[in-house]
Chains A and B, each alone.
Chain A
Amino acid sequence: MAILIDQNKRVLVQGITGREGMARAKLMTEYGTQVVAGVTPGRGGERVEGVPVYDTVLEAWEQVGPLDVSVLFIPAPLVKSAALEAIDAGVKLLVIVPDRVPIYDVLSIAARAQAVGARFIGPNTLGVLSPGKAVLGMMGGRASAAKSWFIPGPVGISSRSGGITSSMAYYLAREGIGATTLVHVGGDAVVGMPHPEVLLEFERDPETQVVVMFGEIGTSQEERAADLIEAGAFTKPLIACIGGKAARQGTRFSHAGAIVEGGRGTYEGKVERLREVGATVVDSFMDLPAATKAVLAKMG
């Protein structure tokens, strides 16, 4: 099993006729993703890599049948409208790849998604990949590369850095450790599915035995992950690494930020909180494979 994406999910690509959309639709298909339709307003009737293009999401749904996932390759200023279109059409999982989506647009998308029970990954995400099954977004790049780098196995991977998501999976695979699914939650301050939500998905997945998480300074995602462990909602071993130890201090949050965060968000705070609830936290990214190997060995 895997979380969020596998070879049976029916996938739509919004912005399929653009530079990224075109290239990624091809790569996703080559890896094994079922890309069943694309949407670009005004370009209905065309085909991209054999995939039919429609003017609206609703039209795509009517023509090709139910759509499980939509992957957005849309310039940031237009993302809100495209995301709401997909949610309103009934798509339950969105992958919002572009960077620089205005934060209030993300809040609007989040509000609508919450109201109808839809979810989204990103914005500013490399995507999601289940080794040997399917990929959403840009993760892995060329299908041949992605196939050789990532292997199926017992580890769930969740990361706030895109490049680190792939390199974590690759360096684990080099040690013979495979993954169920790789999730890049997105690099922005507000993302649709932060670490805690991804952990809950991995908790429900019987094949995921441990989770490797790459966190970063800022936001409260890692602290909330620790809260889940403490509350007994996440019970699998967690191995974590937090980036940004050497990042420049000095740019302080506003007063409001300090009131809300209450000391959360710092490197030390995150590491301490995760260790407190029994997670394994390594100092250096390159120590993750060994630490994961040790945890898996202990589980037998």
Chain B
Amino acid sequence: MARLHEYQGKQQLAKEGVLTPHGAAATTPDAARAIAAEIGRPVMVKAQVWVTGRAGLGAIRKAATPDEAALIAEALLGQRIKNLTVTEVLVEEQLDIAREFYAGVIVDDRAQAPLVIFSSAGGTGIEEIAVAHPDKVARTHVDIERGFLDYQARDLVRRTGISGKLQSELGDLLVRLYQVARGCEARSAEINPLVLTAEGKLVAADCRITVDDYAVFRHPELGIEIAREYDRPPTPLEKIAYAVEAQDYRGTFYFIQMAEGFQRGEGYIGFHGAGGGGSMMSMDALLRQGFKVATFVDTSGNPPASKVYRAAKIVLAVGPIDGYFSSGSGVASQEQFYSARGFFKAFLEAQVEVPIVVRLGGNGEDRAVEILEGLNGRIPAPVEGYKKDDSPDFCVQRLATLIGEQAEKRESEKAEKRKGEKAGERSRETLYTFPGPTGTVTLDHALCATCASKVCVEACARHILALNAEGLPVLAITPEEAQKGRCVECLACEVDCLLYGAGGGHVDLPIAGLDA
């Protein structure tokens, strides 16, 4: 889930008319000093990191003067708090606190509706307060069509024993908070503490907003780089992976980098699952065998072969893994030979040297395993494909065995480098190309002329190729139609062509940020 920093959340609140402390975010000590000087009063300096209990961690401190604010900013900026490095601090006025409340909006899965929660006691330990003093906490569901109405908000506050003008003002604020949550499609939006100042004003002293990942595309104004929740900033590979996912809605590609800076021989495996439940089950099998996981990847929901290819290429860029393991639920409803082609192309191009085990159980598994095992002899690594009757634990044991055997081999014979099967210079005149949705297909007609099988025509998922008068494969539809999605990037015209044809097909699938 995409989280907003405190200062970003407060900007959203301010837009809806909720009072927030006077202040601004700073990325340098000088900027912090300038903001403090402009405020002209003692300030708070607050590290902008997504952790709870910041005060206890020394990440929120008071500064009496602008110089002190600069010193604190200098100490905080660049500091690591839990897994996060502080890159911004919020400098804002200190509040004269008379009373603290809690206000929150959350999407409640049980009622399938937003839930507004108000507590007449706020601040740290709100969960404990809710348990110990249920009478201080009131909650109500919101009708998504009607919205959260003023009287409902006031009644919510009334139920915690607050009356009079304060009740009206809190009610008004809760309606605004709901509008902020609804407006930026927040899974949760909270103000804790919500402060009543000595002057009698209600001010949001903190703010925590988590935006629905799936709605981020509708909210460019929030400036969310990656619509995923991490307990640390995304790595460069995670950004590359996210861009692939964001630009291709077909199927799911989820990528988490679990390790960096590791060495070969430390037991790190590139793990690439399919489907949430099956991926977790398969990862558990790896962990049981004593392996470590360098990546957690899920390509599922019937992704095109091109997406699986890009995913595998990104996994291979993670570092010197000892092996590559892919396994999902084992009984996939999607045609597994598409995924097999994606793996094939990625492993072939990368000329992978470490053992590869892929559990491809499900639809089309026989064909999938045949394609995958066609890699043997074409790359230095041993490759094994498995089907639905092979358990994840068995497949992981095979991987362990292969890794063991390879280590022995490396000892005895200095691994002789194999040259990749790079296609030679192709003569331009014979190249036939057309665009796919995310790449370019090239058929080398000089080679096609020598091809007996013309397997590309038959294997093409959407049958968009046909033989022309000279007996060479060409598009049977317009290039525009191919680019708009009639070409589903099934990679048959490259992988099946290499395995069963003359090897004249190539699909160029760029990965922004990864191609050097």
Contacts and interface: CB of A to CB of B under 8 A. Distances in A.
A110 interface: yes
Chain A CB within 10 Å, residue with most, of B212, B214, B231: B214
6 contacts: A103-B214, A140-B333, A141-B332, A149-B331, A161-B277, A224-B110
Interface of A: 19-20, 75-77, 99-104, 106-108, 110-112, 114, 126, 138-142, 145, 149, 159-164, 166-167, 169-171, 174, 187, 189-192, 194, 214, 216, 219-221, 224, 243-247, 250-260, 262, 285-286
B330 A104 contact: no
B185 A111 contact: no
A128 to B, nearest CB: 12
B438 interface: no
A200 to B, nearest CB: 15
Contacts of A138: 302, 333-334
Given A107-B113, A138-B333, A259 B107 contact: no
A251 to B, nearest CB: 6
Contacts of B16: none
A81 B131 CA distance: 40
B328 A163 contact: yes
Given A111-B145, A260-B115, A285-B281, A166 B110 contact: no
B176 interface: no
A102 B183 CA distance: 13
A190 B252 contact: no
Interface string B482-516: 00010010000000000000000000000000000
A286 B102 CA distance: 45
Contacts of A110: 112-113, 144
Given A224-B110, A244-B280, A255 B275 contact: no
A260 B113 CA distance: 13
Contacts, number: 189
Contacts of A216: 276-277
B212 A254 contact: no
A108 B185 CA distance: 12
A109 B24 CA distance: 39
Interface in B313-356: 328-335
Nearest to B124: A255
Interface of B, helix, strand, loop or mixed by DSSP: mixed
Contacts of B361: 167
A130 to B, nearest CB: 15
Contact of B112 (A106, A142, A259, A286): A106
Given A138-B334, A259-B117, A190 B109 contact: yes
Contact of B106 (A20, A167, A245, A257): A257
A112 B144 CA distance: 10
B300 interface: yes
Contacts of B213: 100
Contacts of A169: 331
Given A104-B212, A255-B126, A256-B105, A161 B115 contact: no
B287 interface: yes
A90 B389 CA distance: 43
B81 to A, nearest CB: 14
B35 interface: no
A214 B275 CA distance: 14
Contacts of B212: 102-104
**Most chain B beta-carbon contacts within 10 A, residue among A77, A103, A190:** A103
B210 interface: yes
A99 B361 CA distance: 22
Residue picked from A104, A111, A163, A194, most chain B C-beta under 10 Å: A163
A141 B117 contact: no
A140 B363 CA distance: 8
B113 A163 contact: no
B188 interface: yes
Contacts of A254: 104, 106, 188, 190, 208, 210
Given A254-B208, A259-B104, A245 B276 contact: no
A246 B250 contact: no
B217 interface: yes
Contact of B275 (A104, A161, A260): A161
Nearest to A190: B109
A261 to B, nearest CB: 10
